[in-house]
Amino acid sequence: MKISHIDIFKYNIPLKAPIAISLGTIENARNLLVRIHADGLTGWGEGSPFWMIVGETQETGFAAAQDFARLLIGQNALDIEGNLNRLDAYLPNNPTIKSAFDMALYDLAAQAAGLPLYAFLGGNRFTLVTDETIYLNTPERMVTDAVRIQSQGGLAIKVKLGTNQRDDIRRVEAIREAVGDQIPIRTDANQGWNYVTARNVLKTIQDWNIEYCEQPVKHWNIADLKRLRQQTTVPLMADESLFNHRDALRLAQEEAVDYFNIKLSKSGGIFNAQKINAIAEAAGIPCMIGCMSESRLAITAKAHFASARRNVTFYDLDAPFEHAEDPVLGGVTYKGYEIEVPTRPGIGATCDETFLAGLENVTIR
């Protein structure tokens, strides 16, 4: 299967409202879409460059994608590892735009095999259940969101924190008071605390049915992650500390966290995500499949990956809830918080051509 040409789009999707976390705020999803053509088949991939986490922007990704495309023209689309190695050899890092190429290559390979992606990866189809995220705001506004999620049948609430000790404790306390004791709360500080603040917050909230705390301290601070794990009963999850399989190995060796958050836009795609999960599984560390601000196209690929790897036990795939438009055809379907994965060959998702016609794009032949 020879790659003939590749289309690259600035995949802009408006949000219903700005999204605020401790690292910053985004006004719109400024993603990237890649479409790879090979022997009459088309593979689709999407990356969401959350600049404050991955160090990429839509502009840098769009520029890099054009060079990447030139490297792949004429190559065998089924040589996934070889093609990804070409990208790594040319330009290190840049995991988000690489994840879009990775996704498109897997889409092509699964289509060529006549299998849905989950089956191509060796898995089986089952229903996933996502949480829903409450972004940073006043305690009162966050309570309103929590009550809504609970009333809609949500089975877990993810709460963004990471500002200061007093306000973050009040946020969790107010939400717990409003929704009762049964529904688990998943907290995420996005590196916003220092060690002392993290310790004090976690010790205060640890008896409030907190399922885990994601990335309480800076991504490089593995020593404090390990100390926090020893000093609180709240399980810890690595997110920004975990980009690739080398990070996974170090975190496992240090026994620094209880869980891993795998994001395709952060790991470079499915190929590397499988490596991270394999290390996690060997170390007895369950994983979550997470998201940035992807559309249902990339969310569908993530759902396929999660269906293929039973060590992935948490699902944070709520990004499309924040989007004001949905340009995706096919793909996963949401039934409340339940996610159904498509069964057609490949990822099973494409993008509406009318929507694409309004996007800045380039084709490399």
pLDDT more than 70, % of the chain: 100
- 82 pLDDT band, cuts 50/70/90, is very high
Q: Where are the domains of the chain?
A: 3-114+352-364, 119-350
**pTM strictly above 0.85:** yes
Tell me if residue 167 is catalytic.
Answer: no
Tell me if residue 266 is catalytic.
Answer: no
- For the chain, how far is it from start to end, CA to CA, in angstroms? 15
Q: Specify the 3-state DSSP secondary structure of 210.
A: strand
- Residue-wise pLDDT for 277-330, tens only, equals 999 999 999 999 999 999 999 999 999 999 999 999 999 999 999 999 999 999
CATH architecture of 119-350: Alpha-Beta Barrel (3.20)
Find, among 179, 161, 158, the residue nearest to 170 by Cα. Answer: 161
Residue 364 burial (CB count, 10 A): 17
User: Catalytic pick from 56, 107, 188, 316?
Assistant: 188
Amino acid residing at 178 = A
The per-residue pLDDT of the chain, averaged, comes to 97
Predicted pLDDT of residue 206: 97
CB 314 within 8 A of CB 288: yes
- Residue-wise pLDDT for 139-194, tens only, equals 999 999 999 999 999 999 999 999 999 999 999 999 999 999 999 999 999 999 99
Mean pLDDT of 47-75: 97
Measured CA angle at 337 (ends 111, 205), to 5 deg: 125
Tell me if residue 263 is catalytic.
Answer: yes
Residue 74 burial (CB count, 10 A): 10
Instruction: Name the strands in the sheet holding 210-214, side by side, starting at the edge strand that comes first in the sequence.
Output: 132-134, 157-160, 185-188, 210-214, 236-238, 259-262, 287-289, 312-315
Tell me if residue 203 is catalytic.
Answer: no
Predicted pLDDT of residue 252: 98
User: Catalytic pick from 214, 240, 247, 318?
Assistant: 214
The first and second tokens of residue 323, run together, are: 């989007």
Tell me if residue 160 is catalytic.
Answer: yes
User: The CATH number of 3-114+352-364 is which of 2.40.50.1020, 3.20.190.10, 3.40.250.10, 3.30.390.10?
Assistant: 3.30.390.10
The first and second tokens of residue 133, run together, are: 């995220």
- Residue-wise pLDDT for 246-272, tens only, equals 999 999 999 999 999 999 999 999 999
- Residue-wise pLDDT for 210-222, tens only, equals 999 999 999 999 9
Mean pLDDT of 90-98: 97
- Residue-wise pLDDT for 226-253, tens only, equals 999 999 999 999 999 999 999 999 999 9
Predicted pLDDT of residue 255: 98
User: Catalytic pick from 98, 263, 266, 302?
Assistant: 263
User: Catalytic pick from 160, 224, 247, 302?
Assistant: 160
